[in-house]
A and B are shown apart, each in its own frame.
Chain A
Amino acid sequence: MNKKWIALLLTGILALTVLAGCTGGSSQPTLNLYGWADNFDPKMIEKFEKENNVKVNYTYFANNEELLAKIKAGGANYDLIQPSDYMVATMVQQGLLEELNKDNIPNFKHLADKFKNPEYDPDNKHSVTYMSGVTGIAYNKKYIKEVPDSWEDLWNPAYKGKVLLLDDNREVIGMALKKAGKSNSSRDDAEINAAVNDLRKLVPNVLAFDTDSIKQKMIQEEAWIGTLWSGDAAFAAAENPDIAYVVPKEGSTIFSDNFAIPKGAKNKELAEKFINFMMDPQNSATNYEAIGYSNPIAAAKPHHSKEYNENPMINLTDEEMNRTEWLADVGDKIQLYDRLWTELKSGQ
């Protein structure tokens, strides 16, 4: 055992750490898709790759703010992104999105009317709705005997250490605001402070804050109850039949994830081709069956299974939808949201 050998060993470790970030190149055109985790059926991505002889490089972000930061730092590396409703508006305002060429997306006509011409992007100039859902309460019937109907149920002391919350300050503070009967995008300091003070009482119940793998924590029964997006809840319920879902009576947040193309994207046409492919009624039926979210393509309904068309987590009632509210940009109050969120999570 000599020193040289050890030096080599240590150098090897360092080299491995550095090289971990490198990936090989390829001559095929590559569509760089930057989206939410588990947002596509991998089989559909494979099908698109085969049909067009391209490679799809699908990477994830955990929340809209992360997406915005990455796009501002150099969005041209991505060809296709998935901003949510209010983020589309913010990005358009900052000139970060290309206009879509609808001639390349003939399947746009299949989109349900209620998703066309949304408030945050009139005429769908820069975006097309990919999926929509609401934030509600998912719970495990094995452990939760009384059916929850209010956000208040998360505060039940019997659920200590068993509650999940989304790792997203707008979602969670918005939830507490809805619980108090206020708007989920309040700009009123007193209302926001009151909502966060209420959340402080919820913290002892919280098992974890999570967005990416919140479904797994429900499926594995690490948590009994938590705030989940409707599609994630449908996905979790398919894996673990004890999981049920409610939209609380106080109302909740509705969201949509959209396709959009960042300014300066290198493969704009390929990105539009991908959008069109995903909006094909047959393709979209296969895709949404796999990911569990509700399909915004009206023409796809006959292609779906009976279970899908009758699943209450996927097909929310009009009455449930009427209780929902979109998140709106809160301007400079985002600083207050962030500060209170940091306080809340660090237990101060």
Chain B
Amino acid sequence: MNKRTFGLVAPVVLWLSLFLIIPMAAVVVVSFMQRDNLGNIIWNFNFDNYARFFDPLYLGIYWDTIWVSLISTVLCLLLSYPLAYYITTVSARAQKLWLIAITIPFWINFLIRTYAWVILLRTQGIVNSLLLDIGLIREPLQLLYTDGAVILGMVYTFIPYMVLPIYVALEQMDKRLLEAASDLGASRWKSFWHITLPQTKTGIMTGSVLVFVTTTGMYVISDILGGAKSQMLSNIIQNQFLGARDWPFGSALSVIFIISSMIIIGLFNRAMRSKYDASREAKA
């Protein structure tokens, strides 16, 4: 490495080591320690915290977390793909407006947006009042503090993360392929299935990984919209640090969480790549 490249890379290396590598290393080290009753860390190397994760209690919560995130990701995808597709079909000016509309919610604090759902969904909230007024229901529905409310909050929050990458993929697609397909007599559905979908796989993949990994790490939504009844893994981690005075176990859970996220991303990458290759081979 010559001097100039070093000069260019040094700030990034410093940044990464200060804010990523050192804190991560601290978490890993603490995860192998013990703690006393007052929550002080005892420097005694052991694997107990990792063994504790395999208790059915924590495995069950881990499974629930994966499940909620999976449902949220699939719903996000189902809602976002048609929207992204639609946006690519309108005029350039309208596209810009659509993209701005999708990003505007990010200008408002995430917590405020989540509490706004409380106002909408509670028993005396806007949705229930409306349904009561038009006579569709007689008793207010319990919309809030349910698993459905948690998933709704997740999907709402993360839709932009799904729409934007899919939009970019659709936008970059070679439209001539579709013309060629239609010239050769392929139906619109067939050309979507064999051309558009494989061509936008990177967008789908990026969006899904972004949404899935972020939802597994989300704990605010399950607290506010779920009434702290359904617990996600991140709620447990938060509780170990802020409630149970058990930083070593919280650290161990964090390490497991990071590793499992990395495995999921890796698997997804590989699955997408091999599928993509297979479809290309089939065509060839």
Alpha-carbon distance A347/B226, docked complex (angstroms): 14
- Contact (Cβ within 8 A) B245 A68: yes
- Contact (Cβ within 8 A) A222 B61: no
Nearest B residue (CB) for A203:
B229
Contact A338-B239, Cβ < 8 Å, known A68-B39, A220-B123: yes
Alpha-carbon distance A12/B164, docked complex (angstroms): 13
Is B57 at the interface (CB under 8 A from chain A)?
yes
Contact A346-B57, Cβ < 8 Å, known A6-B168, A20-B109: yes
Is B44 at the interface (CB under 8 A from chain A)?
no
List, in ascending order, chain A residues with CB within 8 A of B64's CB. 346
Contact A169-B96, Cβ < 8 Å, known A1-B171, A209-B229, A342-B57: no
Nearest B residue (CB) for A168:
B243
A-B contact count (CB 8 A): 102
- Contact (Cβ within 8 A) B142 A161: yes
B39 touches which of A3, A72, A208 (Cβ 8 Å): A72
Alpha-carbon distance A69/B243, docked complex (angstroms): 8
Chain B 143-181, CB-CB to A under 8 Å as 1, else 0, gives: 011000000000000001000100110011000000000
List, in ascending order, chain B residues with CB within 8 A of A167's CB. 228
List, in ascending order, chain B residues with CB within 8 A of A1's CB. 92, 95-96, 171
List, in ascending order, chain B residues with CB within 8 A of A338's CB. 239, 243-244, 246
- Contact (Cβ within 8 A) B228 A221: no
Is A112 at the interface (CB under 8 A from chain B)?
no
Is B16 at the interface (CB under 8 A from chain A)?
no
Chain A 204-215, CB-CB to B under 8 Å as 1, else 0, gives: 001111100000
- Contact (Cβ within 8 A) A348 B228: no
Is A94 at the interface (CB under 8 A from chain B)?
yes
- Contact (Cβ within 8 A) B245 A221: no
- Contact (Cβ within 8 A) B245 A69: yes
Report the minimum CB–CB distance from B34 to chain A (whole Å): 12
Report the minimum CB–CB distance from A331 to chain B (whole Å): 5
Interface size bracket, B side: 35 or more
Is A339 at the interface (CB under 8 A from chain B)?
yes
List, in ascending order, chain B residues with CB within 8 A of A3's CB. 168, 171-172
Number of interface residues of A (CB under 8 A): 44
Is A345 at the interface (CB under 8 A from chain B)?
yes
Chain B 193-231, CB-CB to A under 8 Å as 1, else 0, gives: 000000000000000000000000000000000011111
Report the minimum CB–CB distance from B255 to chain A (whole Å): 19
Is B134 at the interface (CB under 8 A from chain A)?
no
Is A190 at the interface (CB under 8 A from chain B)?
no
Contact A331-B37, Cβ < 8 Å, known A221-B123, A346-B64: yes
Nearest A residue (CB) for B242:
A66
List, in ascending order, chain B residues with CB within 8 A of A22's CB. none
Interface residues of A in 57-71 (CB under 8 A from B): 63, 65-66, 68-70
Interface residues of A in 319-348 (CB under 8 A from B): 331-332, 334-335, 338-339, 342-343, 345-348
> Can you list the 5 inter-chain pairs with the closest CB atoms, starting with the nearest?
A208-B227, A338-B244, A209-B228, A66-B242, A65-B243
Where the two chains meet, the residues of B that have a C-beta atom closer than 8 Å to any C-beta of A are 37-40, 56-57, 60-61, 64, 92, 95-96, 99, 103, 106-107, 109, 122-124, 142, 144-145, 160, 164, 167-168, 171-172, 227-231, 236, 239, 241-246
- Known A-B contacts: A6-B99, A346-B230. Give 9 more (CB < 8 A): A1-B95, A69-B241, A70-B242, A209-B228, A222-B124, A334-B244, A335-B244, A342-B61, A346-B60
